Structure 1
Amino acid sequence: MRRLLAGLAAGTFLLATAACGSSDDSGPSDKGTSSGGTTTVKLGLIPIVDVAPVYLGVQKGFYEKQGLKLSITTAQGGAAIVPGVVSGQFQFGFSNMTSLMVAQSNSVPVKAVANGIASTGVQGNDFGAITVKKGSALKSAKDLEGKKVAINTLKNINETAVRASVRTAGGDPDKVKFVELPFDQMPAALDGGQIDAAMVVEPALATVKSQGGVEIASPLVDVAANLTVAMYFTSAQYAQQNPAVVKKFQQATAESLAYADAHPDEVRQIVTTYTKIPAAVLEQVTLPKWPAEANRSSIEALKELGDEDGLFKADPDLDELLP
């Protein structure tokens, strides 16, 4: 198990604590900590627009109403968060569906508990896109053959999505040179010419566009219509031992998702509290969808692409993984 967890964490960077609720780092905890009827749970997130509902939920008191206090830590990608949840460093985490399926295929016991985020399903108007520098000769995903393309973590959802776009455009994805780079470093790397293209998500996408960058494909839309991109999850052991806490987390998160979907202006404002994106740039951000339920057929499409790309050691069991 240790080797599996180490493998999942390979290529990721050290976790950095973000200010939200308690910052207690006293060590792993399977059950969280309780005080005066309130349970503190540690949650691993990625500092991107996707997770704005959680920050709004904290601000609006949705988690407090359920007797929960969140201690939030940020990471580069879902591949870094999975081992933290399974080891007990976090009680819950946010991860893309490919990371969760890769974990399960490696016999790592993860369990999705709440919906996270979905693509808008609209080509050219999604929260994630392949972008190139202003004036680039690259006009479509097919042109990425032989080029250096940045993604946040290798062998994961964004690589699969970019490969899908390249195939859709008639190109050979095996000829693309993928490099790993945090989302927030992609705009500068693209503008400086260190990379030829970048698969970015908001708010980095808005930053790229503010620099004159151009979108050439919508990979998450190419994977499936209304793709469920990520979900909140816990370990199978924690879910079994703490069903009441899991239910409270599910209820608070569901309320947070619904609120975020109905209040886009508040979403843009809350993002400024946990990212460095300027408010002026945030006005240009394309928000994702935060539906109440996951789109299983889209996850099945993502699984098929992961199989094609050789990401899974065994066939992921979606009946076991999904709520």
Structure 2
Amino acid sequence: MIRFARTVAAVALTTALALVAGCGGSDSDAGSGEEGKALKKVTYLTSFGNFGRDSYAWVAKDKGYFEEAGFDVDIKPGQGTGGVIPAVVSGQAQFGPIDLTGGLLHMGSGQAKDFVAVAAIQQRTMAAIATTEGNGIATPKDLEGKRLADTPGSVVRNLFPTYARLAGVDADKVTWVNGEAQTLMGTLAGGSVDGIGQFVVGEPTIEAVTKKKAVLLPYSDVIPDLYGNVLITSKKLAEQDPETVKRFSAALLKGLQYSLAHSKEAAEILARNVDATNPTAAAAELELMAEYVTPGGSGTRLGTLDSARVARSIAILERAGALRQGMTPEQIIDFDLVPKA
């Protein structure tokens, strides 16, 4: 079934990639990267360190997609949703991906504001608890009494109370400790924790680092209909320079398109830019991510976001008591800037 699902995803992805190829370059500044024109300097944060799942940004830079769109992009490693949002809002970075659910939780709790999502990276959440065989974790209930690590503002950690409630887990019996994006897997390998917050595509890298079989508990098994990562920018930039946002988004999605179609090459590009890269694991992460990126196998363009579906996600979080009542999709997403289906 897994092989069949990935085959279906690959066919759907091919159709979607053909559509996304035409999503940029039509505005008046399409020649910004041409010789003689200054490039706009932009800082982009990855979602979580520099793993294969984020290699598409490096591909967009290496292949010249950013330059063609008029940008000189400085790519820096992000520290999850809780780190990317304040950096973008404060202007330290202009763009970065966050988990949409994490963004909703931050905005709903008043922890963050003044940012908007402008494109989807993954159509389904990839959030999960990750561990390895031998740690006594095979089901959500096994998490009770265990010690888990993650960055303080990560979506896995912030969404855990909702996941625990719906999975029948007593969240008070689970201990969380702080970690950093780049060292979490090493922490797990060292045995100081029983599990870590991670995306499901991290499975190959976990096994490469720990030398053990990975065990994952995907949040999507318990909380359906949640989007994964989305590209965000500040409300200020979105309002003052929407064409810049559209051009950048199109170039990044072009890098995503190429990376999923050429996972090994994308991994090699990442390895040329990030010394600690394991190319085999990075390529495997991209291959696993493909089925999460395709918009439901509908042939719809990559990057789209559906208002009705986001509203259903909000309702799930409201019913779980994780989100205040009354939030709307338009509060967190600028649908005028999102790629059209």
> What is the TM-score when the length of structure 1 is the normalising length?
0.74
Q: Which residue in the other structure is 1:38 paired with?
A: 39
Farther-moved stretch of structure 1 (77-86 vs 256-265): 256-265
Greater helix content: 2
* Contact 2:128–2:200, Cα closer than 8 Å, also in 1: no
Structure 1 SS opposite 2:86: helix
* Residues 1:255 and 2:254 aligned together: yes
- Is residue 2:302 matched to residue 1:303? no
Structural mapping, 1:41-120, within 5 Å: 41-46=42-47, 47=49, 48-105=51-108, 106=110, 108-119=113-124
Separation in structure 2 between the aligned mates of residue 79 and residue 307 of structure 1, nearest angstrom: 20
Q: How many residues align?
A: 281
Report if aligned partners of 2:116, 2:232 keep a CA contact under 8 Å in 1: yes
Give the 3-state SS of the residue equivalent to 1:189 in structure 2: helix
In structure 1, the partner of 2:298 is: none
**Identity across matched positions, percent:** 22
Aligned residue runs from structure 1 range 165-184, under 5 A: 165-167=163-165, 169-184=167-182
What does residue 330 of structure 2 align with? 319
- In structure 2, stretches of 5+ residues that fail to align are 1-35, 295-301, 336-341
Counterpart amino acid of residue 199 in structure 1? G
The 3 A distance-change label for structure 1 pair 185 and 203 is: farther
| Shift in Å, 1:90 | 1.8
* Residue type of the alignment partner of 2:121: G
Task: State the AA in 1 paired with 2:87.
Answer: G
d(CA) in 2 for partners of 1:195 and 1:175? 14
Would the aligned equivalents of 2:128 and 2:197 in 1 still touch at CA under 8 Å? yes
> Residues 303 and 243 from structure 1, CA distance in 2 versus in 1: closer, same or farther, beyond 3 angstroms?
same
Note the alpha carbon deviations across 1:171-195, whole angstroms, 9 max, x for none.
Answer: 2233222222123322222232211
Deviations 1:220-251 (A, max 9, x none): 443225x4211111111111111221121122
Does residue 240 in structure 1 map to residue 245 in structure 2? no
Q: 1:84, CA displacement in angstroms?
A: 1.8
Query: Secondary structure at 2:203's aligned position in 1?
Result: helix
Mapping of residues 142-181 of structure 1, within 5 Å: 142-154=141-153, 156-163=154-161, 165-167=163-165, 169-181=167-179
Question: How far did residue 284 of structure 1 move?
Answer: 4.3
Give the corresponding residue for 2:278. Answer: 278
Which residue does the alignment assign to 1:131? 130
Correspondence 1:294 to 2:305: yes
TM-score, reference length from structure 2: 0.71
Return the alpha-carbon distance in structure 1 between the equivalents of residues 308 and 275 of structure 2.
Answer: 32
**Structure 1 counterpart of 2:37, one-letter code:** G
Root-mean-square deviation (Å):
3.0
> Contact 1:168–1:222 at 8 Å: present in 2 too?
yes
